[in-house]
Structure 1
Amino acid sequence: MSNIDLIIEERAADIGNFMVGRLLPFRQKRAVGPFVFLDHMGPAKMNERENLDVLPHPHIGLSTLTYLFEGSIMHRDSIGSEVEIKPGAVNWMTAGKGVVHSERTPEYLRESNKTLHGLQIWVALPIDLEECEPKFTHIEASDIPSWEQDGLKIKLIAGEAFGKKSPVPVHSHFYFVEIKSDKPQKVSIGDDLFGESALYILEGSVSSEGNTYDPKQILVAKDSKLCEFEIAANTTVYIFGGEPFPEERYINWNFVSSSKERLKKARQDWIDQRFPKVEGETEFVPYPGH
């Protein structure tokens, strides 16, 4: 009996002068645990005239997790945060009742050749925290739990698993784990997982029940407890998931909520520019069609 319920391929999406690979949401799978959105950025090689410039845009009802493999992004938000994110660190921004942020190539890199490569993730908030005050936390790469186990290099980027807990201040029961292997071997980690679970292949390949799967695919498990696969040499995968919420989450543009009425209000608030501003920024991303 196969434990793979669904295979999701990356689909191209435009986030404003920058193309990404969209993985979640997918029409047959809107969420994995509390994870409602996953974009793979790059790897994008940019010259001295090309830069990432995602203008100020709003969020409600979610936390964003930015994790880079290469490059650098300057994050500015309406709470007053101004932080450069570098590879291996975690930017964790909880939007709650509403936050606005921009993401740009830092000034010192704008006139040079550079590469940008990473993941951008949205984690829905529990219903009692959807309207919380916005917060921002930056966790340095050196503070992310990492260890070797059975020949695997493992990082617990966020959440809880393997009897460990990441310092990222999450609001629900989930995990986001990096696994790297230099050599081919069997991986059996189901006992450390819970809830819904999925595996994203960044590089290399994995095999399960006679089938081989390549990069830019998410494999969604039927049962996280049966998470076993063969990992090829020089492979990096990300395993993520957790307990799903009892209530459905709806997405409208950059807004996430358990209430469609709340999404309508957020939409109108952004059109009317009633959200807080990012200091030093004058432009913004208009609501699509406005």
Structure 2
Amino acid sequence: MSNIKLIIEERAANIGKFMVGRLLPFRQKRMVGPFIYIDHMGPVKLSERENFDVWPHPHIGLSTLTFLFEGSIMHRDTLGNEVEIKPGAVNWMTAGKGIVHSERTPEYLRLSKLHMHGLQIWVALPKHLEEMEPQFTHIEEKEIPSWTDGDLQFKLVAGEAFGRKSPVPVFSKLFMLEIKSKAKQTVNIGDELYGESGLYILEGAIESEGNVYEPKQLLVAKDSTLCEFTIQKNSTIYIFGGEPFPEERFIDWNFVSSSKERIEEAKQKWKEQSFPKIKGDETDYIPYPTSKF
């Protein structure tokens, strides 16, 4: 009997002048562990006349995780952070009671041809931390735990697994693993995982019980402790998940909360433009949309 409970295909979504492949939320599976939102950006080529510009927008009740494969993004937020995100680094921003940030092509690259490719992820906060003070951490690639096991290359992007712990300061029990393989082989993770888990295929393919699964598919497991499959050569996959929360989470645009009333408050505050402004990026902003996913 297959351990795959659900197969989620990427769906096209517009995040404002930029199309992405949306994986979560999904109508049949709103969250995997604490992971509530995953977008696959690109790969896309930008000409000298195009730039990646996500104007200032707000968040509450979540942490964002930006992980690039190609390209560069300048992150700015209302805590005063201004950090360039490069491939392999982890940009971790915790909104808590409220934060505003923007993501743009850095000034020195704005007249260059660019390739953009990466993952944009939201992780919901535990109920008792939903109104915590906002925080920001940037972890360079060299600080992320990585190791090899035979022909397999592992990277623990966030959380805890395999007796290792990522320096990304998460607030619940979770994991996000990168696995790469240059050769076809069996992968048996067994009881290294916990809670709920999903497997996303970035490139290559995997086989499970006679079925082949290819890129742009998210496979949600019935039991995370029964994680065994065959990975094809030249494949890259991401396995993520963790302990689910006991309470439901609601999502409306960029807001996540266990309280619908709290989301309504945040929506009104943004419509009134009474969130803090980003220093050096005060003019533009993304209005609350009239239609959403």
Tell me the TM-score normalized by structure 2. 0.98
Deviation at 1:289, TM superposition (A): 2.5
Deviation at 1:161, TM superposition (A): 0.2
**Whole-angstrom distance in 2 between the partners of 1:198 and 1:112:** 36
Find out whether 1:132 has 2:127 as its counterpart.
no
Find out whether 1:289 has 2:290 as its counterpart.
yes
Residue 90 of structure 1 corresponds to 90
Task: Trace 1:120-269 onto structure 2 (pairs within 5 A).
Answer: 120-269=120-269
**Whole-angstrom distance in 2 between the partners of 1:286 and 1:190:** 46
**Whole-angstrom distance in 1 between the partners of 2:289 and 2:272:** 13
Look up the SS of the partner of 1:245 in the other structure: coil
**Whole-angstrom distance in 1 between the partners of 2:38 and 2:45:** 21
Identity of aligned residues (%): 72
What is the aligned residue count?
A: 290
Deviation at 1:190, TM superposition (A): 2.3
Deviation at 1:15, TM superposition (A): 0.6
Residue 71 of structure 1 corresponds to 71
Q: Residues 72-108 of structure 1, C-alpha deviation per residue, up to 9 Å, x if partnerless?
A: 0000000100000000000000000000000000111
**Letter paired with 1:90:** V
Q: Residues 49-87 of structure 1, C-alpha deviation per residue, up to 9 Å, x if partnerless?
A: 010010000000000000000010000000100000000
What is the RMSD of the two structures over their aligned residues, measured on CA atoms?
0.8
**Whole-angstrom distance in 2 between the partners of 1:43 and 1:274:** 35
**Whole-angstrom distance in 2 between the partners of 1:160 and 1:116:** 28
Look up the SS of the partner of 1:189 in the other structure: strand
**Which range moved further: 235-244 or 147-156?**
147-156
Q: Which runs of 4+ in 1 moved over 3 A?
A: none
User: What are structure 2's unaligned runs of at least 5 residues?
Assistant: none
**Whole-angstrom distance in 2 between the partners of 1:130 and 1:187:** 36
Deviation at 1:274, TM superposition (A): 1.3
User: What are structure 1's unaligned runs of at least 5 residues?
Assistant: none
Deviation at 1:221, TM superposition (A): 0.1
Look up the SS of the partner of 1:248 in the other structure: coil
Q: Residues 246-265 of structure 1, C-alpha deviation per residue, up to 9 Å, x if partnerless?
A: 00000000000000000100
**Letter paired with 1:273:** Q
Residue 3 of structure 1 corresponds to 3
Residue 32 of structure 2 corresponds to 32
**Whole-angstrom distance in 2 between the partners of 1:213 and 1:121:** 22
**Whole-angstrom distance in 2 between the partners of 1:128 and 1:277:** 26
Find out whether 1:57 has 2:21 as its counterpart.
no
Deviation at 1:150, TM superposition (A): 3.1
**Letter paired with 2:289:** P
**Letter paired with 2:36:** V
**Whole-angstrom distance in 2 between the partners of 1:107 and 1:157:** 28
**Letter paired with 1:284:** Y
Look up the SS of the partner of 2:191 in the other structure: helix
